[in-house]
């Protein structure tokens, strides 16, 4: 079953301007792979060479931070939404 993936403004150049896309996947890792197939170039912005979510990206599954679930191994199950949220910081 497809889950709605909410895309932050700053990444919408990869989605043709769309604020969300419906993506299939059993785990979040699969969702991100399939998201890359639809929106070329987006995965590199989200995940590093070791397959970990980049430090400046927060990912929520139905409002829950995936760092408190199983990160990208988290199963989507019946969840409705994946939210990709930028971490913005400086000094």
Partner 1 sequence: MLQITKAALESVFSHGEETFPEECCGCLAGPADGDEVTEALRCTNIQNRLHEKDPEHYPRTAKDAFNIDPLEQMKIEEAADEKGLKLFGYYHSHPDCESYFSAEDTRQATYPTTGDDDGPREPIWPDAHQLIASVKAGKADYAKAFTWVGVAEEFVEEEIEVSS
**Interface contacts to partner 1, rule CB under 8 A:** 6, 8-10, 13, 19, 45, 48-50, 54-56, 58, 60, 83, 85-91
Instruction: Report yes or no: 47 and 24 within 8 Å, Cβ to Cβ.
Output: no
What does DSSP assign to residue 54?
A: P
What does DSSP assign to residue 61?
A: E
Residue closer to partner 1 (CB basis): 26 or 52:
52
Tokens of 22: 């419906």
How far apart are CB 37 and partner 1 at their closest, in Å? Answer: 22
Residue 31's CB: how many other CB atoms inside 10 A?
23
Residue closer to partner 1 (CB basis): 22 or 26:
22
How far apart are CB 73 and partner 1 at their closest, in Å? Answer: 21
């Amino acid at each position: 079953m497809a889950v709605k993936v909410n895309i932050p403004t700053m990444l919408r150049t990869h989605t043709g301007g769309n604020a969300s896309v419906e993506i299939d996947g059993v785990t979040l890792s699969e969702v991100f792979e399939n998201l890359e197939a639809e929106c070329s170039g987006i995965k590199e912005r989200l995940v590093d060479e070791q397959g970990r979510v980049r430090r400046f990206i927060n990912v929520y599954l139905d409002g829950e931070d995936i760092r408190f679930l199983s990160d990208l191994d988290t199963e989507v199950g019946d969840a409705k939404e994946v939210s990709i949220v930028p971490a913005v910081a400086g000094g």
